[in-house]
Structure 1
Amino acid sequence: MLSRKCPWPSACVQFGRGYDSRDTYTDRTLYLSERTGETSDANTLYVASARVANEHATRSADVTKKWSENVYRDPLPSSDFRIKKKIIHPGEVNRVRELREGVVVTHTDHPNLFLWDIERQPHRKDTSSKGVESNVPDLTLVGHQANAEYAVESAEEGKIIASGGKDKLVLIWQMEDYETLLSSKNSHLLNRTILRGHSDTVEGLAFNPEDSRRLCSGGDDRCVFFWDSRKSAATGKINDAHQGDVNCVDWSHNGMYIASGGADHRIRIWDVRQLSQSSEVTSFADLREHTGQINEVQFQPCRNSSVLGSCAEDGQVLLWDIAQVESDSKSSTGGEIPSLLLFRHYGHQYAVSEFQWSTVPDDPWTIASVSEDEEGATLQIWRLLDLIYSSPVDAANILRSEGM
């Protein structure tokens, strides 16, 4: 639906909780980063508003616009995409997670995590001046002994934050009284829990959506660990989960499945109910349609959904329906369009850094994705056509209602 070229590379994109819905469109809050490297321009965290057409409410101007009308360079009217706030970040933003509406935590190339209350932060119009000072975070989360760059997640509306890093640790911070923390003179918060087990960098984390005391982590040691934050040792472990680094993990919203993505270009699905620390575990689905290392896996945020999304260095975002594995005795191994593959998004030309499903309950099939291109980045917001995910009967009814 929307595509926008950004002047600098971006490693992350996230929908915010804020949105304003009208008859034909919804204004969605987006968090986006700019990674400026060694230039004089500052690394920036953007808070933006993107106008997304509601389902079945496409504008005629969008349908008739031709590709020759410079669509790639400036595809959106100014009213469709605008920057609401710029925050100069101390270092490049590798990951951003919204804890509650307007409050985010960021990962950078540093041991510390930074927490930002967007309303409290000043808007920085000039980010290109040499030597410009960074914004000061509202709270700094300390505890890592080495850089913690990518693995970060939250639970219970941001009251719990977990992070992994090059120190091979998983750390957990408790944020029970956020306002008290911000009003105190102490702007640093030490982690409450340390989970030890990994023998190399922790790259990905995911909480159990049904129990925030349980979480899993994946790392460069090729392992996936399972944790209970009340216990010092791991409650489960998958050795050699991938033939290379485990880059990302996610936990399905019904609590039954774990997805892991690796540097081996593969996505593997594990049944949590079959896991124990002493048993030999095998994945029940091994998805091999990507041709580059996996950067992100994420289950659709609906309790009854069996759909998984993935993005990779090959420039693709793929959507899978793992419920099909119950009717297929064999998992996907390539070839024609495999039965688990629901949709293939070819909109990006370069490696897709990150994607995220819509968090609006009435719009579960909209996705934001960002790629790091040879020059800059490309942000896209797109929605799956309802004919693709509907049952044959529902699809036929949709076509009849459209007069087809």
Structure 2
Amino acid sequence: MESEMDASCSKDIKMTEENCGNVVPRIKKKKLIQKDIHKKDVKYEVYTPELPLGPEEELRFDKSAYIMLHSAQTGNPCLSFDIIRDNLGEKREEFPLTAYVVGGTQAAKARSNSVLVVKASVHQGAPLVATWSELGRVNVWNISLQLAAVDSPLLMSRYKEEQHSTSTTPLFTFSGHQVEGFALDWSSVMPGVLATGDCKRDIHVWNPSEGGTWLVDQRPLIGHVASVEDVQWSPNERNVLASCSVDKSIRIWDTRSAPNQACKLTASNAHDSDVNVISWNRNEPFIASGGDDGVVHIWDLRQFQSESPVATFKHHIEPVTTVEWHPTEATVFASGGADNQVALWDLSVERDMEPEQDLKATLNISVQDLPQELLFIHQGQTDIKELHWHPQLPGVIFSTAQNGFNVFRTISV
């Protein structure tokens, strides 16, 4: 990651390694005495975030557990963001790395909010970004000027001067939602197609039209009875959409059907409480979901009518606020939550008892009954809101929280 990244607003984002997010060490030392590290009378145990620290204990992250770790502050926090694909090549691993991000801020005062562009690039062949507002409007913005500005100091200077005298106008605005919302997703197989869901219960589907506008069906998809928390287009099939809601359900829609008949599959009680997030696997017919109950469920769409997940992980101790499958590894996903941790998982991992027995015998390390699929726990952020795997930088994760961004890659993925 470059050491400095320019934002479209007047403040630059500094990417630093000082005061960066901490990762919980895989081993919590009861006695921090280096010379005793191989003695069997010193007890060790695997640390997990729900365990309280003793009066003389502190967490110290292990740099050797990361290939890369950076943090960034944006002034007002970005509670949601997107990583935008660029033209710099695929599977880039040689440092320094460059990435492009766009996010919306959550300021104490609404007039202070802005769309933050950090080397943002084109979306589906056009530099478009969609944003929700507190007024219940969804705006689509053309960020061509901002894209050019973050790549040129001269254009950035001109852009800042022009911003003082003119205000940016959205390319298109939809005011059909009666309340504000959170759910929004562009289709990856139908360029320009968008779905938005609001806090009432309504989902609207957008289709691009001539002249830089959209035809938005004024009739919402009918099915949910409470706030729509997330929507996700199928990464492989046209017209197939998934959604989740405060009503505890996950629904699968065929948007070719009439809005009152579009819901084709429903898991009515997918979680014990609000379903906050969903993620569609790009390689297998799986959907991951996270809820206020702190649980992550894995759903097989081939068995969705049974309304039973094929796997369940109860690791987070607060609501799960974000989940996303790895873009190329079909069995790997990441989850994050209000418990201030990002967890990395691999469904293909099976517990190997021999190394655990060796640790017990040589270092007196007791491995707790942790999920065998749990690979890594990352900490250091407060109230994590969203994470994304970078599609072109293998293993790199961006996560956003109340205290800023983390950008990291672990030794596990």
> Helix, strand or coil for the counterpart of 2:370?
coil
In structure 1, the partner of 2:223 is 197
Contact 1:17 1:100 in 2 (8 A): no
Q: Deviations over 1:161-220 (max 9, x none)?
A: 111112312211112x5xx332xxxx6743376311001111111122110211111001
What CA RMSD, in Å, does the superposition of the two structures yield over aligned residues?
3.1
Aligned partner (choices 114, 123, 126) of residue 139 of structure 2? 114
Alignment of 1:260-339 (within 5 A): 260-276=289-305, 280-302=306-328, 304-324=329-349, 336-339=369-372
One-letter code of the match for 2:300?
A: D
Asked if 1:2 is matched to 2:2, the reply is: no
Deviation (angstroms), 1:312: 0.6
> Helix, strand or coil for the counterpart of 1:31?
strand
Relative distance call for 1:24 and 1:189 in structure 2 (3 A) is same
* Structure 1 residues without counterparts, runs of 5 or longer: 50-83, 86-96, 328-333, 390-404
Alignment of 1:183-194 (within 5 A): 189-191=215-217, 194=220
In structure 2, the partner of 1:225 is 251
In structure 1, the partner of 2:390 is 358
Deviation (angstroms), 1:255: 4.2
Aligned partner (choices 350, 359, 370) of residue 400 of structure 2? 370
Asked if 1:163 is matched to 2:207, the reply is: no
Asked if 1:42 is matched to 2:75, the reply is: no
> Helix, strand or coil for the counterpart of 2:144?
coil
Q: Partners in 2 of 1:294 and 1:217 — Cα distance?
A: 16
In structure 1, the partner of 2:160 is 125
Q: Partners in 2 of 1:149 and 1:281 — Cα distance?
A: 25
Relative distance call for 1:128 and 1:35 in structure 2 (3 A) is farther
- Quick one: higher RCO (CA 8 Å, sep 6+), 1 or 2? 2
Higher alpha-carbon deviation: 197-206 or 133-142: 133-142
Q: Deviations over 1:365-401 (max 9, x none)?
A: 00111110xxxx321111122xx24xxxxxxxxxxxx
Aligned partner (choices 25, 32, 44) of residue 103 of structure 2? 32
* Structure 2 residues without counterparts, runs of 5 or longer: 1-68, 150-155, 353-366
Relative distance call for 1:114 and 1:99 in structure 2 (3 A) is farther
Relative distance call for 1:244 and 1:151 in structure 2 (3 A) is farther
TM value normalised by structure 2: 0.69
Deviation (angstroms), 1:322: 2.1
In structure 2, the partner of 1:341 is 374
Contact 1:218 1:249 in 2 (8 A): yes
One-letter code of the match for 1:357?
A: W
Q: Partners in 1 of 2:177 and 2:248 — Cα distance?
A: 21
One-letter code of the match for 1:35?
A: Q
Deviation (angstroms), 1:127: 12
| % same residue | 24
Q: Partners in 1 of 2:176 and 2:104 — Cα distance?
A: 24
Deviation (angstroms), 1:252: 0.8
Relative distance call for 1:146 and 1:351 in structure 2 (3 A) is same
Relative distance call for 1:371 and 1:209 in structure 2 (3 A) is same
In structure 1, the partner of 2:406 is 380
Q: Partners in 2 of 1:27 and 1:214 — Cα distance?
A: 33
Q: Partners in 1 of 2:113 and 2:304 — Cα distance?
A: 42
Q: Deviations over 1:230-253 (max 9, x none)?
A: 223211110111111111111111
One-letter code of the match for 2:251?
A: F
> Number of matched residues?
315
| Larger Rg over CA atoms | 2
Q: Partners in 2 of 1:219 and 1:335 — Cα distance?
A: 34
Q: Deviations over 1:255-303 (max 9, x none)?
A: 4111111011111111110123xxx42112111111111111111112x
Deviation (angstroms), 1:42: 2.1
One-letter code of the match for 1:144?
A: H
Relative distance call for 1:261 and 1:274 in structure 2 (3 A) is same
One-letter code of the match for 2:273?
A: G
Contact 1:203 1:220 in 2 (8 A): yes
Q: Partners in 2 of 1:210 and 1:99 — Cα distance?
A: 15
One-letter code of the match for 2:388?
A: Q
Q: Partners in 2 of 1:171 and 1:293 — Cα distance?
A: 27
Asked if 1:216 is matched to 2:242, the reply is: yes
In structure 2, the partner of 1:248 is 277
Deviation (angstroms), 1:19: 5.2
Structure with the larger strand share: 1
